[in-house]
Homo-oligomer: A and B are copies of this chain.
Amino acid sequence: MDEEKSIPIKIQEQMNQYVLQQGKLQLRNPHIKQGHDDILYHIALGNKTHDLERMFQDVKFVCLGGSPNRMHQFAEYLMSELDIEVPAGLGLTNIACGSDRYVLYKVGPVLSVSHGMGIPSLSILFHELVKLLHHAGCSDVTFFRLGTSGGLGIEPGSLVITEEAVNGLLQPYMEVATLGKLVQHPSRLDSELAQQLLALAQTEPQCQGHSTYLGKTMCTLDFYEGQARLDGAFCDYQPEDKMAFLKRIHNHGIRNIEMESLCFASYCQRAGVKGAVVCVTLLDRLKGDQVSSPHNILEDWQRRPQRLVALYIKQHLGGKKQ
């Protein structure tokens, strides 16, 4: 019955731990039975219409980012970095092209997938990807979110690796209204993975030329009022209120603000997969609200999370290039 809804966070973490210890990715849902029809509606795939095992069983890394173009670009970058050979006449193709909600590319054992903007859009995709990996019989999969964000007190173009995601009230959990009650799911991320990424960023020559921080990430449901901007269509507060808030959360350890990390972190934990959030900061919110750097500079910055995550993947596939 409804016991789960009142289970405190600590016990939920223990339950998640149980799932983590399994080899193959298990679904924390007793109602999805092996062999039954399962339509992954928003990525236009299904366990009856597609041979998911043949298509996806080798997947070890799932890389998510908001923008379809950026995730296409990342897939192309991985092709070259991982030395993936493609027979003449073939090329990258969007596996989710039967729907226009997300794009999904596969490059060897890596998926590069767009998640749109905000928690609900990521949530739909995450549910369907976890089911996809489960139907495909995948094991030991690591998830990454490669994002853009507003920084706090750090130079634009810096990377932030999230140690913990918090919501707009600084709470370290995601709330899901489930059957009419709010259920809280903790949003801590794998600290070992975050440390490995930080070490890589600090030692690899490809990641030099900008700073990388480990810090807390605030995840909001809105880009304007939710992130204390003064430049939305609506604003009922004053510049001094905004600055007081941003300084307060900066003192709390928040280094960047974006719109998906809370869901990403809590779903990784629930799915029993390791996950990391690596975001570039496009501006310093202590200095302004508008994203006004030139297009080519923003483009260059957006490749920084890609370079770091691709390096990690290469190292862990044992096929390190250069």
Question: Which residues does A use to contact B, with CB under 8 Å?
Answer: 1-2, 4-5, 27-32, 37-39, 41-42, 66-69, 100-101, 116-121, 123-124, 126-128, 130-131, 134, 167-170, 176-183, 220-226, 228, 230-242, 245, 248-249, 259, 267, 270-271, 290-292
User: Residue of B at shortest CB range from A289?
Assistant: B31
Known: A116-B117, A180-B170. A127 touches B234 (CB 8 A): yes
A235 touches B29 (CB 8 A): yes
* B residues in contact with A120, CB < 8 Å: 117-121, 220-223, 226, 259
Assess the B237–A123 pair: CB atoms within 8 A. no
With A116-B116, A222-B123, A271-B233 already in contact, the answer to whether A2 and B241 are too (CB < 8 A) is yes
**Measured between alpha carbons, how far is A73 from B38 in the docked complex, in Å?**
29
Given contacts A2-B241, A124-B223, 4 further A-B contacts (CB under 8 A): A27-B233, A118-B120, A177-B220, A183-B236
A30 to chain B, nearest CB (A): 7
Report the nearest B residue to A177, measured CB to CB: B168
What is the bound-complex CA distance between A28 and B236, given in angstroms?
A: 8
Residues of B within 8 A of A292 (CB): 37, 39
Q: Check if A123 sits within 8 Å of B224, measured CB to CB.
A: yes
A4 and B1 alpha carbons, distance in the complex (Å)? 41
Q: Which of B124, B130, B176, B237 contacts A4 (CB 8 A)?
A: B237
Distance from A62 Cβ to chain B, minimum over Cβ atoms (Å): 13
Q: Are the C-beta atoms of A180 and B245 separated by less than 8 Å?
A: yes
Give the docked Cα–Cα distance between A235 and B2 (Å): 11
Query: Cβ of A224 and Cβ of B127 under 8 Å apart?
Result: yes
> Chain B residues with Cβ under 8 A from A240's Cβ?
1
A100-B69, A118-B119 in contact; A179/B245 too (CB < 8 A)? yes
Q: Which residues of B contact A4 (CB under 8 A)?
A: 236-237
Complex A-B: 16 CB contacts under 8 Å:
A4-B236, A4-B237, A29-B232, A31-B239, A67-B101, A68-B100, A117-B124, A118-B118, A123-B224, A168-B178, A177-B220, A177-B226, A178-B228, A178-B236, A221-B221, A234-B267
Contact pick for A221, options B123, B131, B228, B249, CB 8 Å:
B123
- Contact between A221 and B167 (Cβ–Cβ < 8 Å)? no
Nearest neighbor of A19 in chain B, beta-carbon distance: B234
